[in-house]
Chain A
C-alpha cells in the first residue's frame, strides 16, 4: 500500500523520527493507520444488493433515503429515526410532498439543460430544500441519466414527478396560450401547491394558463401582492386566507378577477426553546439537565451531537466528551408544524481552563493556592466548587481573588497526595454557560 499524501512531508517526518526519541502524534497515528488491518465490514451480498438496487435501478430507493435525510436535516440519523418511530413530520406534512417535487424538478433541470429556463420558475424554494443543496447534488450525481422518453414539455415532467393526489398538482408551470384559445371560465383559473401550511413555509401559486398579452396581480389576502405568474408566498401569520387573481389584458385593459375563499389555511408554529443546568458539583461525566421551554409543542425530539436522539420532554444527558456539544431541539405541534432550535453546550476538563493538575499548599510562595488560570481573564462570573471523594463540599468561591488555599472545613489542611474534585460553572456576559470539572492533587 502506498501512503496517501506521502512524498516530501512524510519523508521529512521520518527523518525527524530518527532524531527524536518520541514521534509526533500525527506521524504515530498515520503509521498506525497505515499498518491497520481495518474493521469488520458487511459481506459482499450487502454491497451487491446496493449495486443492483441502487446504482443500476435509477436509485429509487436511494433517492428516498436522501429525501428523508434532507427533511429532518441531521435530526434523522439513519437508524435513530426508525427507533424514534415518530414519522410525525414525514407522513402527514404537506411540505414533504412539496419537497419531493423540488428535488425532482431540480433533477430534470440539470438533465434537460435547454429547458432549464422554463423550469426554473417552477423550482419552489422551500426552506428545507434550499438548506440542503448538497443532497440534491448527490442525487443527481449518483443517478444515471434518467431514462425517460424525451420529455416534451416542462409540464409533463412536473406532473410525472408529482407524487400526490391530482388536486394538489395544480401549481405547475403554466403553458403559454392565447386569450381566445382558453375558455372564459378557465382564463383566471389558478391553484396552489398546498392548501395547508405552517407559518413561515412557502406556498407556491400558479395560474393554470399563461395567457399571451396579459399581466397578473395576486392578492394573497394578507396584505401582500405579487405580479408573477408563479409566485411563492410565505404567510407570516396563522389564519385562513382568501386568494385573488386579477388578470389584465394589455391591449384594452380588460380585467378578469377570481377569488378563492378560504384557499389556504396557515397553521401556527410552535416555538422551540430550552435552557439547561449543569450539575452544581464535580462529576466526571456531568449529567446536564435540559429544560424544555417551548410553547405550543405537542412533541419534542432532542438530538445531541447529531448522534443521540431522545424523545423525552426534558432529558438529562451525560456529556462525557470534552468539547462543545451541539444540542438541537425539534418540536412539533398537533398540526404538524415544527420548529427547531440549536444551542452549544460546552463541557471541559482542566485543559479547557488551564487549571493545574496539582498544587502545594505549604506557604513556600509557589503554587500555594488553586485557581484555574483560565478564569482570570474571563469576562463573566463563575462558581468554583471543590468536593472531597465522599461528596462533601470543601470549598466554594466565585472570585479569582479567593482561591482555595488547601484548607478543609474541619480547619485542617489537605494532606500531600490528597485528591479533590473540582467543578466550575462559568457564566459569560452573553448569557452562555460552560462547565468544567477535573481533579486537583495536593503535592
Chain B
C-alpha cells in the first residue's frame, strides 16, 4: 500500500474544489483522484476516531469513498463538501461497527448518570484543551472501548443528539447518556495525563478554508 498520500495543511481553493467535484460528477477518474488525494487523510482521521484497528479503518475508508463517488452526483454544492463526505465516512464506520454488534455492544449501565461524582477531578484545574493535537485525540480514544468511543464521537464531535445516537447505535437514550458521561470522564483523565506528561502538542498547523 505504498506510497502513501500524506496529510497536507494547504487549503483547497473553493473554485478548484468545485471543478474537482464537477469532474467527478462527470465520472472522470481524474476528478476522483484529486478529491481522494486531498481528503483521504482527514477522512481516515475521522474514521480512526471510531475504529481502532487500522486495517478495519482502511476498509471503511475504501467503502466510504466508493459511496462518495457513487453518490457524488447528488451533492448539490449546498453545505461543506468535506462535511458531506465525513458524514458518509462516519455512517460507514458505524455500519461496520454495528455489523459486528455482538461483540462491541456493552450492556446496559447499571450506574445512573447522576451517581457519577467527579469529586476527584474537580480538585484539579481544568487544563487548556485548546492545545490538543490530533495524535492526542486518537491515542486517547484508542484507549476507550468501541461503544464509548462511538458515543463520545457522535455527541461531542459530530454533535448529534442522544436520541439520534441511540437510534444509530441501537441502544437506549439512557445508555447513550451514561456511556457519554463515562467516556468523557475516562477521556478527560487520559488526556490530562498526556498533557501533564507534556505530550499535548501545539502542532497541527491551522487549516482554514
Interface residues of A (CB under 8 A from B): 1-5, 9, 21-44, 46-48, 50-51, 54-55, 65, 69-70, 73-75, 77-80, 131-132, 134-135, 138, 142, 303, 305-307, 320-326, 328, 340, 342, 344, 349-351, 354-357, 373
B208 within 8 A of A: yes
Most buried by B among A37, A55, A303, A344: A37
What chain B residues lie within 8 Å of A44 (beta carbons)? 5, 33, 36-37
B119→A354 contact, CB < 8 A:
yes
Among B69, B120, B187, point to the contact of A25 (Cβ < 8 A): B187
The 5 closest A-B pairs by CB, nearest first: A74-B100, A28-B129, A38-B41, A41-B40, A2-B80
- In the bound complex, CA of A65 to CA of B97 (Å): 15
**Known: A2-B83, A4-B80. Contact between A40 and B103, CB under 8 A?**
no
Query: In the complex, which residues 149-181 of chain B have their Cβ closer than 8 Å to any Cβ of chain A?
Result: 156-159
Interface string of B73-90 (1 = CB under 8 A from A): 000000110110011000
Among A27, A36, A307, point to the contact of B134 (Cβ < 8 A): A36
B120→A357 contact, CB < 8 A:
yes
What chain A residues lie within 8 Å of B99 (beta carbons)? 69-70, 74, 132, 134-135, 138
What chain A residues lie within 8 Å of B130 (beta carbons)? 23, 28, 31-32
Nearest A residue to B82 via CB reads A1
- In the bound complex, CA of A1 to CA of B119 (Å): 39
- In the bound complex, CA of A145 to CA of B189 (Å): 50
B44 within 8 A of A: yes
B100→A69 contact, CB < 8 A:
yes
What chain B residues lie within 8 Å of A373 (beta carbons)? 117
A37→B134 contact, CB < 8 A:
yes
- In the bound complex, CA of A21 to CA of B95 (Å): 39
Interface string of B129-144 (1 = CB under 8 A from A): 1101110111000011
Q: Is the interface of B mostly helix, strand, loop or mixed?
A: helix
Nearest A residue to B83 via CB reads A4
Range, interface on chain B: 35 or more
A142→B67 contact, CB < 8 A:
yes
**Known: A40-B7, A47-B40. Contact between A29 and B146, CB under 8 A?**
no
- In the bound complex, CA of A285 to CA of B104 (Å): 21
What chain B residues lie within 8 Å of A323 (beta carbons)? 106, 144-145, 148, 182, 186
Interface residues of B (CB under 8 A from A): 1-9, 11, 29, 32-33, 36-37, 40-46, 48-49, 52-53, 55-56, 58-59, 61-63, 65-67, 69-70, 79-80, 82-83, 86-87, 95, 97-107, 117-121, 123, 125-130, 132-134, 136-138, 143-148, 156-159, 182, 184-189, 191, 204-209
- In the bound complex, CA of A37 to CA of B7 (Å): 5
**Known: A41-B41, A42-B5, A43-B1. Contact between A305 and B32, CB under 8 A?**
no
What chain A residues lie within 8 Å of B104 (beta carbons)? 74, 305-306, 326
What chain B residues lie within 8 Å of A135 (beta carbons)? 99
Among B45, B101, B125, B186, point to the contact of A322 (Cβ < 8 A): B186
Nearest A residue to B37 via CB reads A44
12 A-B contact pairs sorted by A residue (CB < 8 Å): A1-B80, A2-B82, A4-B82, A22-B125, A39-B7, A42-B5, A51-B66, A55-B70, A78-B59, A306-B103, A323-B144, A344-B106
What chain A residues lie within 8 Å of B32 (beta carbons)? 47-48, 51
Nearest A residue to B98 via CB reads A134
Nearest A residue to B186 via CB reads A322
CB distance from A443 to the nearest CB of B (A): 12
A340→B102 contact, CB < 8 A:
yes
Among B8, B56, B58, B158, point to the contact of A4 (Cβ < 8 A): B158
Nearest B residue to A76 via CB reads B100
Nearest B residue to A55 via CB reads B66
B45→A29 contact, CB < 8 A:
no
Nearest B residue to A323 via CB reads B145
**Known: A51-B66, A78-B59. Contact between A306 and B133, CB under 8 A?**
no
What chain A residues lie within 8 Å of B33 (beta carbons)? 44, 48
CB distance from A426 to the nearest CB of B (A): 12
Among A4, A321, A354, point to the contact of B144 (Cβ < 8 A): A321
What chain A residues lie within 8 Å of B121 (beta carbons)? 351
Among B29, B97, B101, B129, point to the contact of A23 (Cβ < 8 A): B129
A131→B66 contact, CB < 8 A:
no
Among A24, A40, A73, A324, point to the contact of B100 (Cβ < 8 A): A73
- In the bound complex, CA of A359 to CA of B156 (Å): 34
Among B41, B53, B98, B118, point to the contact of A78 (Cβ < 8 A): B53
Among A1, A26, A50, A303, point to the contact of B209 (Cβ < 8 A): A1
Nearest B residue to A36 via CB reads B134
CB distance from A344 to the nearest CB of B (A): 5
A39→B144 contact, CB < 8 A:
no
Nearest B residue to A144 via CB reads B70
CB distance from A68 to the nearest CB of B (A): 11
What chain B residues lie within 8 Å of A2 (beta carbons)? 79-80, 82-83
- In the bound complex, CA of A73 to CA of B95 (Å): 13
- In the bound complex, CA of A40 to CA of B8 (Å): 10
Nearest A residue to B39 via CB reads A38
Nearest B residue to A344 via CB reads B107
- In the bound complex, CA of A35 to CA of B59 (Å): 25
CB distance from B17 to the nearest CB of A (A): 10
**Known: A351-B185, A351-B189. Contact between A41 and B44, CB under 8 A?**
yes
Among A38, A47, A351, point to the contact of B118 (Cβ < 8 A): A351
Sample of 12 further A-B pairs with CB below 8 A, known A2-B83, A25-B187, A354-B119: A5-B158, A32-B129, A41-B44, A43-B5, A51-B66, A73-B100, A78-B59, A80-B53, A142-B67, A303-B103, A307-B146, A344-B106
A40→B191 contact, CB < 8 A:
no
- In the bound complex, CA of A39 to CA of B66 (Å): 19
B102→A73 contact, CB < 8 A:
yes
- In the bound complex, CA of A25 to CA of B128 (Å): 9
CB distance from B197 to the nearest CB of A (A): 15
B37→A22 contact, CB < 8 A:
no
B105→A326 contact, CB < 8 A:
yes
